[in-house]
Amino acid sequence: MKLHEYRSKQIFARYDIPIPRGRVAMTAGEARAIAEELGGRAVIKAQVLVGGRGKAGGIRLAQSPEEAEELATQVLGMHIKGLPVRKVLVDQAADIQTEIYLGLTNDRATGSPVLIASAEGGIDIEEVARVRPEKIARVWVDPLLGLRTYQARNLAAGMELPRAHWGQFTDIARALYRVYKQTDASLAEINPLVILGGGSMLALDGKIVLDDNALFRHPELAELRDLDEEAASEREARKYGLSYVKLDGDVGCMVNGAGLAMATMDVIQHLGGRPANFLDVGGGAPAEKVAAALEIILSDSNVRVVLLNIFGGITRCDEVARGILMAMEEVKPQVPMVARLVGTNEEEGRRLLAEAKMITATSLLEGAERAVAAAKGEAIEHPG
C-alpha cells in the first residue's frame, strides 16, 4: 500500500526528519491562501500515487499567491497516468544547493534491510544504478541491531558527502530507519534530500510503501489507502480476503496458493496465452468466496476463459468441486471454464465438474493448454 507524499512527510516529521512548511489544498483558493501563509513563493505538487509527476506537469513553482492559485487550478484539473488529481500539496519553495537520494528497502538476497544513498538525487535512482553504479552507496542493516551511527557515516563517506553534513545526514538516516521499521514499510524513501543554501538538510519529497500483510498492526495507516489508485475489482477482492491483481490478458485464473498461482501464470504465458489476473483464493475457500472470486474475474470484459487450478491437500477435491458448482449457479459464467483438480478425491471432483459440462484436466499443462486454446477461439475437446 502506497502513501501519498504529504502523508509520508507527515510521518517523517513525527520522527524528527525536517520537511518543508506546507499543507494540502483541495481547491485553488485554498492553494492561494496557503501560499500567502508561506510568504508567496510556493511549489504546487499533484498528489497522485505514480511517478513522473514533474514530467507530466504535475509539479509547478509559483512566484506569488496569485500564480499559486492559477497553477493549482491547472494541476487540479489534470489526470496523470490515468489518475485524477484531487488534491495538491503546497510547499514552501526551497533554496536548493545539492540533491541527494536516500532510501531503505528490503534486500531479499540477504534477508535484511539495505540503506541506499546517492549524490545523484532528484532523478530516477534505477537509471543511476544502471548507468553509473559507482554513484550508489549501500549499507546492510542487521534487523536485531538497527542502523548504527558508524554505518550512516560510512554511507555519507561512500557517496562523498562533505564532512560538514555528516552529522545531520546520520540523524536523518537513522530516523528514516525508525520510520521503515516501525511502520512495517517495504520502502521508505526521500528523493530528494536536499542541502539548502544555509547548509541545513530538508526532505523535499517522500515516499512510503507499506507491507499489506502488516496493516493489521497499523489500522490508522490502513485508513489512509487511496481508492483512486486501485481497480474496483481489487477493492472488491479485498472485502472477501482474496489476493487479486488485475492484469491485461484474457485467461482468467483462480488458484489456491500464491506460489501455484504464479506457476499457473507462467505456464499460460509459456504456452502463448496471457493471464488476465493473479488470484489466490486460499485453502479451504467456502462456496461464497469462490463465487466472489469468479464474479471478480468475470467482471473483466477481456476474460475469454477461466482456468481453475486447485490442489486439494487437506481440502478435498470433491468439496471444492461442489463449491465451484454452487458458485457457478450464482454467477452463471458465459465463457468456457477449465478446471484442473489434483489431490484428495480428485476423481470424484473431476466427475462432478464434467457432469456439469465443465472442461476438466488432470495436469496444469493440460489445463493451461485447453484454456489458452479456448481464449484463442480454437475448438477443444469437451468432457462428457
Kindly report, residue by residue over 210-259, the tens digit of the pLDDT: 998 898 899 999 888 876 666 677 777 777 778 888 899 999 999 988 89
13 pLDDT band, cuts 50/70/90, is very high
Q: SS3 for 76? A: helix
State the cell numbers at 82: 490515468
**What is the b/e burial string over 160-176, where b = at least 16 CB atoms within 10 angstroms of the residue's CB?**
ebeeebbebbbbbbbbb
pLDDT for the residue 228: 66
**Do the beta carbons of residue 273 and residue 375 sit within 8 Å?**
yes
Backbone torsions φ then ψ of 24, nearest 5 degrees = -90, 140
Task: Please compute the mean of the pLDDT values over residues 136-147 and round it to a whole number.
Answer: 93
Cα first-last separation, the chain: 46
pLDDT for the residue 383: 47
Residue pointed to by grid coordinates 505538487:
45
State the cell numbers at 336: 468456457
161 pLDDT band, cuts 50/70/90, is very high
Please give the Cα distance from 225 to 208 (Å, whole number): 12
The catalytic site residues sit at 101, 189
pLDDT for the residue 209: 95
Q: SS3 for 252? A: strand
Average pLDDT of the chain to the nearest whole number: 89
201 pLDDT band, cuts 50/70/90, is very high
State the cell numbers at 87: 488534491
